[in-house]
Amino acid sequence: MGSNNEHQFKSDRNVIFFCKYHVVGCPKYRRKVLIKGADERLKESIRQTAQEFQAAVIELEIMPEHVHFLIGVDPQFGIHRLVRYLKGRSSRLLRQEFSWLCSHLPSMWSN
């Protein structure tokens, strides 16, 4: 059932929370581009960005045409803001490191 840490309440100065979100991200046109090392680099990028914003990646699974993750985030920071950072940073990083992505996709992620 996962680590004991994933079921604990978190708190900051104003609020105690237990917010977990299941997020699914798909590359534009659901193309199978999360392959050939791009999948591992995406995992690193998601974990690094989440850590920077004090979010917890509880589960993460990457398929060739989509990514699933369960993430815990402070509700005052907002899941919408975190997803925007995750998509933006990973898109920039992957397209810089894997130039073949630029020829396959006009932009990395679907809306």
What CATH number does the domain containing 84 carry? Answer: 3.30.70.1290
46-77 as b/e: b if 16+ CB within 10 A: beebbeeeebbbbebebeeeebebbbbbbeee
For residue 83, the one-letter residue type is V
What pLDDT shows up at residue 106? 87
pLDDT in tens, 21-51: 999 999 999 999 999 999 999 999 999 999 9
Residue 72 inside a domain? The answer is yes
Residue 77 inside a domain? The answer is yes
- Name the residue range of residue 69's domain: 23-104
Residue 18 inside a domain? The answer is no
pLDDT in tens, 45-86: 999 999 999 999 999 999 999 999 999 998 889 999 999 999
Residue 100 inside a domain? The answer is yes
Is 107's pLDDT higher than 70? Answer: yes
The two three-digit tokens of residue 102, written as one number: 């630029």
Residue 2 inside a domain? The answer is no
pTM of the model: 0.85
Residue 4 inside a domain? The answer is no
Residue 86 inside a domain? The answer is yes
Residue 9 inside a domain? The answer is no
Q: How many domains does the chain have?
A: 1
Is 6's pLDDT higher than 80? Answer: no
Mean pLDDT of the chain: 90
What pLDDT shows up at residue 80? 96
Which pLDDT band holds residue 8 (cuts at 50, 70, 90)?
Answer: confident
Q: Distance (Å, rounded) from C-alpha 24 to C-alpha 110?
A: 11
Backbone angles phi and psi of 39, in degrees to 5: -65, -45
